[in-house]
Chains A and B, each alone.
Chain A
Amino acid sequence: MAEKSPQELIQIDLTPPPRKWMNPAVDFEARRGTWSYPGGVKSLDYLGMPNVREWSPTDADWKLPENWQQIIHDGFKDLLKKYRTLEIFMDICVRCGACADKCHFFIGSGDPKNMPVLRAELLRSIYRKDFTATGKILGSLAGARELTEEVLKEWYYYFFQCTECRRCSVYCPYGIDTAEITMMARELMNLVGLNINWIMEPVANCKRTGNHLGIQPHTYKDNVEFMCDELEDVTGIKLDPPINRKGAEILFVIPSADYFADPGTYTFVGYLMLFEHIGLDYTLSSYASDGGNFGLFNTAENMKKLNWKIYHEAKRLGVKWILGGECGHMWRVMHQYMDTMNGPADFLEVPRSPITGTVFENTTSTKMTHICEFTSDLIKHNKLKLDKSRNDQFRVTFHDSCNPARAMGFLEEPRYVIENVCNHFYEMPENTIREHTFCCAGGAGLGNDENMEMRMRGGLPRGNAVRWVRDHHGVNRLTCICAIDRATLPPLVEYWSPGVDVSGIHELVGNALIMEGEKERTTDIRGVPVQPEKGEQDDV
């Protein structure tokens, strides 16, 4: 946990200092708690990344390759040729400042270089110097800077202080997307060996074992069996989910955190209960054991490689289509990147719910459907036996995860499911939900412990909104459809809004499902005793 108390941390002055921003110096020693450790040698070697070495951001010498400036320059040139986004976003920003106070890291830190416009200017200033006539001629008058080692260090600090949540791009009159700019900057930094371990280790793990956490197939099986045993204590029903089963109709892909740690595990058993309830013909895979993809936060090449296994496994198992669990950045990749990178999935069939017969017309090419689309269709067709009152002890709110909200337009499906499995649902203030949603401040690889102060700072807007519904409506359950959220929101709410638990939506589904042959439920699926409704609770 951050060493500063919430009261100390919220003393934020959003007024920038008088000095010019172009001075790049960052004092890493003084700013411990706000940056992430570099990629470990073992992971980088395994992945064949350039310039592998032991180093720390607090070192004076970052042990860059001798010709690092040339490498960055050439890399930049290459990216400009590959991405229209980069060219356009470098050229057209007018610095109107509409984005400035939309970033959770700026709101929580007051550090002006966390204004999205300035984050982009860190890169743009080099672009001007190297690639534009005005920058070459007018220099700093046109906002151009020389690429020095100090600038590179500043990049490392600020481009690993962006969670690629895209909130700023909602407000930008030209749709300039800082996530895209951050991705480009990270591509460039990777060329000279600047990356963070919280990204590189998961990427290396994911390549080797199929999942970010490095869970090997035997442990995978053990974990699943363990969760099913726990669930049996609650429901009296023993589930035996199929793993790597050929010929199943559906391959179910989830983020690995769902079978690794609480509270994701409760979401996981929620999925399994649902599938048992409707008798779904599906399989899990211990090879395609992570839909999440930290390659998205690293390089386009690694993203493609990690994603490649999904269709590969679907083909091997001979399934008809793919269903995906609750995960934010995984769905950014599945929705906006997978088909382009690793398609076409012409060996699969258009997803069709075997229970309701609904053809998912919005997934005809990718052949991958979101669990919330699947479940809301089941509910709509009355195919689930649900007892909403089993969630009566929860006063629920919903955190829109950045990627489903701003990269998919996925807003109503999760709400529909929530409203059908619980009686008390309250929205957070409108400027903090849906397309305006605030990040958990731990996405894009920043959800590590050494970065905790920055996470709490960036978590202020979300934490404050949760506090508001807690205080006004007695909310005690923050739901989300993202595995990173389920890992990073618990410390965030403990810090900013204590007394609220975090869960996925399918945990609530699991609670509400009336399973055939179940025993009387005395606890929820966490094993927490269900409290009988105390008298009338007035809905505030």
Chain B
Amino acid sequence: MGALISLVAVAAIVLLASVGASTGDGLRFVFGVILPGVAFAVFLGGIIFRVVHWAKSPVPFRIPTTTGQAKSLPWIHNNELEAPSGLPGVIGRMALEVLAFRSLFRNTRVEILPEKSKVNYIADKALWAAAMAFHWAMFIIVLRHFRFFVEPVPAWVEMLQSVDGFFQIGLPVYYGTTFLMVVGLAYLLARRFFDSKVRYISLPTDYFALYLLLGIALTGIVMRHIEKIDVVQVKAAIVGWASFQPAVPVGVGLWYFVHVTLVSALLIYFPFSKLLHAPGVFLSPTRNLANNNRVRRHINPWNPDIQGHSYAEWEDEFRDKLKASGYALEKE
């Protein structure tokens, strides 16, 4: 049900863009220039607002989750990447988490065999592999798009393209990342449909993000390989947009508008949704703090000024019993 509603929503966006692109220059300007501009502003502004908001809220306690041996006695080998004792370890741990999805790599699947009274834990790296494929592919694809934004095309983008298109399949060359992004997304979507547990926890919005991303990838593929687009016109339109001299894009075709509108929708949706996991992971206190609690005092800015039940109160209450038991007392 949720999956369907989200599909309808994404379809509506596609339809809207298509209609807009085919009705005339006015709406073309809206969909090709204004919407992406607004979307970009909302995206940037929204993320900055969120991150600043998070960063302003206090971290009262230092609560890293340790996943390896801490630094203790000098002859015990410690694991800086799993239980960092200081900043270098934290940076390493975060780098592994952000770049290699370290925690997801631990994933296992549980299996209960009642007839054998047995519980098994089976390594399950599929989610990790799909997540890595999708995220890295998308990241590289975004970088590749820089060729549309700057003239001349920077050398690093050229290099990225040639590595990405290493296998030289088809003309124009099929990029490896295209394949990885679509396969990764397809797997992430498929498990929401077919893994009963993931289906149960999925919200309509979870499908929405995946549909948007798939839509963006597929329209991109269409423009590059099927209804081939005039890249020169596209670049003219985008460079104009990026240098604040926008004009109605001409000769770019319908798919361009659909693609751009889906990207705009994603950008607008981003700061209001779970997609915030991207900046959020950097601020997660169970990962980005050192496990040096007993070495450096962590300050809680709102540490309440309260005391416990004092020794004097305790002694007062149990004075007779303490005396009878022969305890030395503060006050006789």
Contact = CB atoms under 8 A, between A and B. Distances in A.
Q: Do A and B come from one complex?
A: yes
Interface of A: 6-7, 10-12, 14-17, 21, 80-85, 87-88, 91-98, 100-102, 107, 112, 115, 117-118, 121, 132-134, 138, 141-143, 166, 169-177, 180, 207-210, 216-218, 221-222, 243-244, 246, 286-287, 300-301, 304-309, 312-313, 316, 335-337, 339-341, 343-344, 358, 360-366, 368, 373, 376-377, 380, 405-413, 416, 429, 431-432, 435-436, 460-461, 464, 467
A435 B121 contact: no
Contacts of A286: 327
Contacts of B64: 407
B117 interface: yes
Contacts of B28: none
Contacts of A343: 297
28 contacts: A7-B117, A14-B110, A80-B57, A82-B57, A82-B302, A91-B50, A95-B198, A118-B201, A121-B201, A134-B205, A138-B205, A142-B205, A143-B203, A173-B104, A175-B285, A175-B286, A176-B286, A177-B286, A300-B60, A339-B293, A339-B294, A340-B62, A340-B300, A362-B72, A362-B295, A365-B294, A409-B79, A409-B291
B92 to A, nearest CB: 15
A336 B293 contact: yes
A92 B299 contact: no
Contacts of A344: 297
Given A14-B197, A85-B63, A287-B314, A305 B306 contact: yes
A118 B298 CA distance: 31
Given A88-B284, A413-B76, A101 B308 contact: no
Contacts of B298: 339-340
A373 B72 contact: yes
Interface stretch (B163-171, B223-231, B237-245, B269-277): B269-277
Contacts of A11: 114
Contact of B103 (A170, A180, A218): A170
A309 B308 contact: yes
A340 B308 contact: no
Question: SS class of chain B's interface: helix, strand, loop or mixed?
Answer: loop
Given A207-B308, A307-B308, A339-B298, 18 more contacts: A10-B117, A14-B110, A21-B200, A88-B283, A96-B131, A96-B198, A100-B201, A115-B197, A121-B201, A169-B286, A170-B106, A301-B304, A316-B311, A365-B294, A373-B73, A409-B82, A412-B76, A413-B73
- The 4 nearest A-B residue pairs measured at CB: A409-B70, A308-B308, A409-B83, A409-B66
B61 A91 contact: no
A413 B273 CA distance: 43
A406 B304 contact: no
Contact of B291 (A207, A243, A408): A408
Contact of A174 (B73, B205, B281): B281
B97 interface: yes
Nearest to B103: A173
Interface residues of B, number: 103
Interface stretch (B16-24, B29-37, B149-157, B316-324): B316-324
B62 to A, nearest CB: 6
B57 to A, nearest CB: 4
A101 B195 CA distance: 12
B301 to A, nearest CB: 9
Contacts of A339: 293-294, 297-298
Given A87-B57, A141-B2, A170-B103, A97 B280 contact: no
A95 B2 contact: no
A300 B298 CA distance: 16
Contacts of B194: none
B274 A10 contact: no
Question: SS class of chain A's interface: helix, strand, loop or mixed?
Answer: helix
B328 interface: yes
Contacts of B58: 82-84
Contacts of B97: 173, 175
A217 B311 CA distance: 12
A407 B66 contact: yes
Given A365-B297, A409-B69, A207 B309 contact: yes
B201 A115 contact: yes
A177 B63 contact: yes
Contacts of B65: 166, 169-170, 175, 177, 406-407
A142 B273 CA distance: 9
Contact of B57 (A6, A81, A177): A81
B118 A340 contact: no
Contacts of A316: 311, 330
A309 B309 contact: yes
Given A312-B311, A365-B294, A464 B117 contact: yes
Given A175-B103, A207-B308, A413-B76, A16 B196 contact: yes
Contacts of A207: 308-309
B283 A84 contact: yes
B59 to A, nearest CB: 5
Interface string B191-227: 1000111111111111000000000000000000000
